[in-house]
Amino acid sequence: MTAHSARPDAVLSDLAAETLSAFPDAAGMQIGPEQGAFMTMLTRLAGARLAIEIGTFTGYSAICIARGLADGGQLTCCDISEKWTSVARTYWQRAGLADRIDLQLRPAIETLRALPEGAVFDLAFIDADKPGYVGYWDEVVPRIRPGGLILADNTLSSGRVADPAIPDERVPVRAFNDHALADERVDLVLLSIGDGLTLARKR
Ligand SMILES: C[S@@+](CC[C@H](N)C(=O)[O-])C[C@H]1O[C@@H](n2cnc3c(N)ncnc32)[C@H](O)[C@@H]1O
């Protein structure tokens, strides 16, 4: 998959390498290069101009989304880690995307609840704490324009979601998967890319 998908450029591959060397225990949270290429393509196909990301880490997925945005596009990023997002800021600068990205450093649910009443997005990417997913979904879906996209990462979580031997309380994303599937405001598909990516299109 990675060998025959668009190759990450030097900014993305340097960011992946720096993330691995600076934060070896956390680096696995970063999306993979094929998923990044897919997300840039989806953002372009959706004609997205306004996007929101919940869970930014060192900024890899934010670069992939921001690069796909239409002219004048803006990405709002939500995270709580100054340490991890300081690396993101460096690479957004290097990618020439710093003016397209607005980082909000506080719990994402607070950022979402504090959005102006009429704020609407074309695309959202949910990739933060798993127990928070249902709450993020409930805040995000009403703010996506009809035809817009919601992406949720780790909805297979390396197969643990599908492993009946692991109890539900250890796999909070199962409740999210049920919640999203039952939502009649969207059309939805769960893809086995990365650790699972749910792709929902607002009707
Ligand atoms: C899986 S990582 C995101 C990876 C990123 N999308 C990428 O591809 O590199 C999850 C991120 O969610 C952030 N996070 C955890 N709990 C959060 C919360 N309550 N609000 C906002 N961000 C949170 C963490 O600090 C971490 O950076």
The pick from 13, 34, 54, 56 for probing ligand 1's pocket by mutation, whose C-beta has the most ligand atoms within 8 angstroms, reads: 56
Distance 26 CA to ligand 1 centre (A): 11
Backbone angles phi, psi at 52, to 5 degrees: -135, 135
The count of residues in the chain is 203
Report whether pLDDT(201) > 90: yes
Report the candidate in 76, 27, 81, 85 with the shortest Cα–Cα distance to residue 53.
76
pLDDT for position 198: 97
Mean of the pLDDT values across residues 69-78?
Answer: 98
Q: pLDDT by residue (tens digit) across 88-118? A: 999 999 999 999 999 999 999 999 999 999 9
The pick from 31, 57, 151 for probing ligand 1's pocket by mutation, whose C-beta has the most ligand atoms within 8 angstroms, reads: 57
pLDDT for position 108: 98
Read off the amino acid at residue 153.
Answer: D
Mean of the pLDDT values across residues 148-161?
Answer: 94
Domain boundaries of the chain, sorted by first residue: 10-154
What confidence tier does 159 reach under pLDDT thresholds 50, 70, 90? confident
Q: What are 74's strand-pairing partners?
A: 50
Q: Which residues line ligand 1 (CB under 6 A)?
A: 29-31, 55-58, 60-61, 78-81, 84, 107-108, 127-129, 132
pLDDT for position 1: 84
- The answer to whether the Cα torsion of 17, 27, 174, 142 is positive or negative is negative
Distance 2 CA to ligand 1 centre (A): 23
Atom in ligand 1 nearest the alpha carbon of residue 78? 21
Superfamily per CATH, domain 10-154: Vaccinia Virus protein VP39 (3.40.50.150)
Mean of the pLDDT values across residues 56-73?
Answer: 98
What confidence tier does 2 reach under pLDDT thresholds 50, 70, 90? confident
Place of tokens 């949270």: 29
The CA distance from 92 to 32, in Å, is 18
